[in-house]
Amino acid sequence: MKTITVVELKNLIEKGEEFQLIDVRESYEHEFCNIGGELIPLGEVMNNLDRIDTSKKVIIYCRTGVRSATLISILDTMGYENLYNLEGGIFAWSKEIDPSIPTY
**Structural domains of the chain, with CATH:** 2-96 (3.40.250.10)
- What pTM, to 2 d.p., does this model score? 0.96
Residue 20: name the closest of 2, 8, 36, 34 by CA: 36
CB 39 within 8 A of CB 45: no
Q: What is the pLDDT of residues 19-71, one digit of tens each?
A: 999 999 999 999 999 999 999 999 999 999 999 999 999 999 999 999 999 99
Concatenated DSSP letters of 3-19 = EE-HHHHHHHHHHT---
| pLDDT value, residue 88 | 98
